[in-house]
Chain A
């Protein structure tokens, strides 16, 4: 996609988006609702035409090419299975429309149903299947055509949590097995991180960052990406000193904290120091023991969550942070609401973002 823009009335749904998706990768487009991710998918499918810019699929410009002549297939969010056709008829539809001779369609359909583990259900109607099964029919209906690109619109959004976790793994395995390029739109960061080889984060129609899940998770390029990919704590301040790899930041009401340097910052620039809840350490002991940063806090809330304790702590400047501490150590070390504690972290665990 090159410089693609699409307007809906007065609002710009997709704003000068340039994106290269590699052949055979599992690519996720992540963003909150209204970020333009679904419009991007519909532009790729051909249901909408860009106002400017161009879309090229496998070297072919897609300008003016209707959906029925594009080498892409879409798995709809609500599956959009044809209710008056059986599972087998649904899966056969695309091959039939392509004009494949009838005797050849049968084996392809059987193979596709086998692939999504639905063999034996070919004569059911979609209404007789569970949500998970309907989802797999939708997958088979698209994959049977061997498209150059498979588009998935919030593929797991309608499933319950348990099934969603299973399907994340299954989808990824399926993609690796068939080797088709998957482009998956989702608002669920966990889903995007688990399944994708690379992902793009979109907001207000713009591309904010593109990279592998690890790159995006550990080195978010902006405060929005940091907060959208997992809960993040942040501290606004000004650059006090830059010392090679380490930048010292002055935070009003707290003092000095340290973070790894980032490019393009000068002394005095406004910045955000961000750190993930699971990287924080909570202790009753004021000794620094290897942590370069320490703030005295008050525990506002302690929530038991199985393997972890979730704490809400109040900082001296009245900001509330979240901390997640493993429960392995038994009950003795737990904190209770109202207690004073020391919040500690290593400088390398923080991420510095320009504000």
Chain B
């Protein structure tokens, strides 16, 4: 008996092994190597790259990245839920248009949009000018190159990734369940916590994972909006590879980031009780 091979999966599997698996293995190998005197790689095994991450300087960057990613995820969830709910409950012909509006920013290059935020957040920028014109502030707001600027940029960039899965979950939610809860004496807040939220959990989990992972590894946003003062892991890794030319240390950082993301997401999925995704 010949076991049939699903031939259709061979091209994507080969592509993944060749262009994802092999480079990843290389990075792993390099992370145990030693930096050469002039920036090359010397194949002398060491764990030193991993131990030097424990330096408070780097730990602070890890901590800030984690904190910013968590905050970004929470803000996206709080802002995205009502938005997704309104879209899911809108008349059918409006849903397409509203979803389209959510996706429209993707039509422009992310870099260009981040530059636009620089323009808005500058001390003499749009936001500062408008706020002082309204008399809300009396001196220029130094927003650019702060954690707040990075946070604004991340929320802006990843909000659609939260809205889309939430919309998919809420759109499937039978409106009569909401009416049933309402009819059974639940106040609006109870309808939300007891019926809407539990039934949209898969969307909440998917949205949070989709926002948290890229936020944690963000590079462009903190680079342009955070500058040197608000570095995230992504910038640190780039710095090691291209500026310091310490490839082994950059590789070690990459792997720690990856392991961290994996651990965080696994923990989150477990806590959420969503075994279906694992």
Contacts and interface: CB of A to CB of B under 8 A. Distances in A.
Nearest to B179: A47
Interface of A: 45-47, 66-69, 72-74, 76, 78, 80-84, 93-94, 97-98, 141-142, 145
Interface string B162-189: 0000000000001011011111111100
A73 B199 contact: no
Nearest to A153: B176
A82 B181 contact: yes
- The list of the 7 closest CB pairs from A to B, nearest first, reads A94-B184, A80-B180, A97-B185, A80-B176, A97-B186, A67-B182, A68-B185
B195 interface: yes
B183 A45 contact: yes
Contacts of B186: 68, 93, 97
A81 B177 CA distance: 7
A81 B195 CA distance: 11
A197 to B, nearest CB: 24
Instruction: Determine the interface band of chain B, counting residues with CB < 8 A from chain A.
Output: 10 to 19
Contacts of A145: 184-185
Name A's interface SS: mixed
B198 interface: yes
A45 B195 CA distance: 19
A67 B187 contact: no
Given A68-B187, A97-B186, A98-B185, A82 B180 contact: yes
A23 to B, nearest CB: 21
A83 B194 CA distance: 12
A128 B111 CA distance: 51
B132 interface: no
A161 to B, nearest CB: 25
Contacts of B198: 84
B179 A67 contact: yes
Contacts of B174: 78, 80
Contacts of B185: 68-69, 94, 97-98, 145
A68 B176 contact: no
27 contacts: A46-B183, A66-B182, A67-B179, A68-B182, A68-B185, A69-B185, A73-B184, A74-B179, A76-B176, A76-B180, A78-B176, A80-B174, A80-B176, A80-B180, A82-B177, A82-B180, A83-B199, A93-B181, A93-B184, A93-B186, A97-B184, A97-B186, A97-B187, A97-B190, A98-B185, A141-B184, A145-B184
Contacts of B181: 82, 93, 97
Given A82-B180, A93-B181, 13 more contacts: A45-B183, A47-B183, A66-B182, A67-B182, A68-B186, A76-B179, A78-B174, A80-B174, A83-B199, A97-B184, A97-B186, A97-B187, A97-B190
Interface in B130-163: none
